[in-house]
Amino acid sequence: MILILAYTQMFALDKESTLKIYTKILSSIFPTKKQINVYVPNREYYDILKSSNKLNVVDDIKKASIAIVTNLKELQSVKKLNKDIEIFATNEKLLFQDQSIVGAFYWKKGRSQLLFIKNRLDRYHIKLSDEYDKFIIEL
């Protein structure tokens, strides 16, 4: 199962906060994994996430459990390399554009937004804890 995380508004967070948020989100997606292999084509996020102890940023997409993309080009590239990889998007447009993206974290009117699409989570057998219920919608 592949989850793609997409983001567009990095300015909203500093490095430490970004790392903290993404570690928490990815840990909730993979609650049993001690270490999560992440594929991040974006250079800026690559540098941020690689400093995590919990996340293991990999260069080989085949070894990754999840991929994080920030735009359409990255999404297409990821899907080309591994069409089955779990996709999660932080960019709202990407989230609704591609059926394989199960969630996203992004900023709207200065407020952070975390959104998961229920049927896509189900498709990938992702079971989030109860605290994420309010972020899960059905389309």
Partner 1 sequence: MKYRYINKYILILFVVLIAFVGYLQYSVMQNTAKLKAQEIAKTKEYATKIVQYIKTKIPDNLDKSLENTNLRDELNIILSTFMTEKYKYIFLLDKKNDKYYRFLLDGSTNNPEEFHSIFLPRSKLYDEVYKTQKIKLIKQKDDVENVWLSILAPVVYDGKTEALLVLDLSKKYGDYIENFNSPISNLVRLIQIFLLVSLLILSILFYRYYKFRKKILVDKVTQAYTKLSLEEFFVKRKVQNEYIFMIDIDSFRVVNTKYGYKVGNKILKEFVECIKNSIDDSKKMIFKIGGGEFVVIVPQKDKSLNDKANELFNRLKDKKYYIGDDKISLSISMSGMKIYDEMSLYKVLNILDEKLLEVKSRGKNSYAIIAEKDKESILYKDIDFIKQHLEDGQFTCLYQPIYDTRTKQIVKYEALVRMQDNDKCISPYYFLDVIRGTTQYIKMSKLVFQDIFATLKKYPHIHISANMHLDDLYSSDMMSMIIEQLFYHKEYAPRLTFEILEDKNIFDYNRVNEIFMHLKAYGSKIAIDDFGSGYANFNYLIKLDVDIIKIDGGLIKELKTQPHKSIKVLKSVKKLANELGCEVIAEFVSDEEIYNHMVEIGIEYSQGFYLGEPKFIQEYLD
Minimum Å gap between C-beta 92 and partner 1 is 7
Q: Closer to partner 1 at the Cβ: 27 or 112? A: 112
30 or 105: CB nearest partner 1: 105
Give the residues lining the site for partner 1 (CB under 8 A): 12, 92, 107-115, 134-135, 137-138
Closest distance between partner 1 and the C-beta of residue 112, in Å? 7
CB of 138 to partner 1, least distance (A): 8
**Residue 135 and residue 62: Cα distance in Å, rounded?**
29
Q: Which is nearer to partner 1, 19 or 36 (CB)?
A: 19
